[in-house]
Amino acid sequence: MDPSEARRILDGERERGLELIAAASSLDELERVKVSLLGRRSPWSEVQRSLGAVDPEARRELGRSSNEVKSALEDAIAGRRAELEGSADDRLLEGDRVDVTLPGRRPRQGSLHPLTIVQAQIVDVFTRMGYRVAEGPEIEDEWHNFEALNIPPDHPARTMKDSLYIDVPGLLLRTETSAVQIRTMETEEPPVYVVAPGRVYRREAVDATHGSMFQQVEGLAVDEGISFSDLKGTLEAFARAMFGPDRRVRLHPDYFPFVEPGVQVAVSCFLCDGVGCRVCGNGWIELLGAGMVHPRVLQNCGYDAERFTGFAFGMGVERVAMVRYGVEDLRLFYEGDVRFLEQFGGAA
């Protein structure tokens, strides 16, 4: 091959090659272009093969030109390949594209259980009045659960209550948080102002208003000169804090072995203001039991019943929550249905 012919071919191949490479619209097409430009049967390879026949001086010069053409084409191919690979990635990403204008999916946030909320609110009302939180065991002995509370072995309350005993003789699941009253007075000197929130257990059939396990908040105040009007004033303050400033409290005589006198406490309905409605019936909502601590209970704990008097009250947290939220079936609180539970928001 004549050196000038070889040079003409190399120049032409560079020009033609760069055009073909730029026009390649896919990686497959680019590969075909590469073979046609630099493959064994390409004009460029033909020039390479002819170099051996030209004289050494022209060979050196042609060899350099040939190498320049080759690397120019290879650079252009690499550049175009990168472009085509990039747009292939773009097409893949297109399918996964995130539309930032769509509404987001919020992670579901947990919330406090409605009974936890109500219990915290009840306890809060009393701690703001100066009461302290006291606790006791859920497995109790008969002394703290019955005898010390003026419920002797032959007392009808023991059969009335249908307690849940455990395998160890004399121990049972506590039937009232009242047992915490006894434990507190046994270990502390008066004055005593405590509230005791906690679970209690009864052998009861479960229905819309009864459970075999439920939660109570017990209150106890023992001091010198505590009277029945202190009890009433305290309960009125509680009712207003929980159900609104216009609430009135009504006391009816009732019997509990550990208080004398004992009362059933009702609050004027916060929906109808005592007129009568679907929730309350007659305008009053029965909320809790209370009374003046029986002198024998004080003596059982080593207190001087001549010098100290006190009152106690106990309420079911479920009952307060049902009234407060208009829930008609207690079992809803224990079914764990998130659709029910998340309505309460979780603000304590």
Q: Which is closer to Zn ion, CB of 288 or CB of 341?
A: 288
Residues near Zn ion, by CB under 5 A: 269, 271-272, 277, 280
Q: Which is closer to Zn ion, CB of 54 or CB of 272?
A: 272
Shortest Å, Cβ 136 to Zn ion: 35
Other CB atoms within 10 Å distance of the CB of residue 73: 23
Q: Are 174 and 138 in contact (CB under 8 A)?
A: yes
- Phi, psi at 211, each rounded to 5°: -135, 160
Distance spanning both ends of the chain, measured CA to CA: 95
Q: What is the largest CA-CA distance in the chain?
A: 135
Shortest Å, Cβ 233 to Zn ion: 24
Shortest Å, Cβ 208 to Zn ion: 19
Q: Which is closer to Zn ion, CB of 213 or CB of 272?
A: 272
Ramachandran class of 337: left when φ > 0, alpha when ψ lies in -120 to 50, beta otherwise: beta
Other CB atoms within 10 Å distance of the CB of residue 140: 26
- Nearest residue relative to Zn ion (C-beta): 269
Distances (CA, A) of 21 to 37, 44, 76, 90, 246: 10, 15, 7, 21, 88
> In whole angstroms, what is the distance from residue 257 CA to residue 251 CA?
17
Q: Which is closer to Zn ion, CB of 18 or CB of 271?
A: 271
Which one-letter DSSP state was computed for residue 127?
Answer: H
Q: Which is closer to Zn ion, CB of 267 or CB of 298?
A: 267
Q: Which two tokens stand for residue 85?
A: 């690979």
Shortest Å, Cβ 286 to Zn ion: 12
Shortest Å, Cβ 315 to Zn ion: 19
Shortest Å, Cβ 322 to Zn ion: 14
> In whole angstroms, what is the distance from residue 146 CA to residue 157 CA?
9
Q: Which is closer to Zn ion, CB of 134 or CB of 269?
A: 269
